[in-house]
């Protein structure tokens, strides 16, 4: 049986999640709405992380166990949300790639 939050989230995994989410937000030009949403819901970070665990049986078939486990741990900590906001803000100040 797989157990959620059995392995703590490492700093390397935390930074990978931050970079991955910030990159996707930048790609879709959603920097301002994402920052607004994260700032408004930062006080609820712990509840969101635990809600992800509660809904994990519904999310795992689509996202996989590892992804649900890592993201639920990530979003359960308010400091991680602040780190993500700072990364999005930093990327927002960079010029858009001409790809």
Whose structure tokens read 């990978």? Answer: 16
Per-residue model confidence (pLDDT) at position 99 = 46
Residue 82, pLDDT above cutoff 90: yes
Chain centroid to Cα 5, Å, comes to 15
Q: Check residue 94 and give its pLDDT.
A: 80
Residue 89 is predicted with a pLDDT of 94
Is a pLDDT exceeding 80 seen at residue 14?
yes
* pLDDT of 1 over the 80 cut: no
Please report, for the chain, the start and end positions of each structural domain, with discontinuous segments joined by +. 15-93
């Amino acid at each position: 049986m797989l157990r959620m939050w059995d392995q703590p989230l490492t700093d390397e995994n935390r930074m990978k999640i931050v970079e991955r989410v910030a990159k996707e937000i930048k790609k879709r030009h959603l920097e301002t709405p994402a920052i607004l949403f994260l700032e408004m819901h930062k006080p609820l970070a712990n509840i969101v992380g635990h809600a992800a665990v509660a809904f994990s049986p519904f999310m795992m078939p689509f996202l996989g166990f590892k992804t649900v486990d890592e993201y639920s741990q990530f979003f359960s900590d308010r400091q991680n949300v602040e780190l993500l906001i700072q990364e999005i803000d930093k990327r927002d100040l960079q010029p858009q790639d001409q790809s």
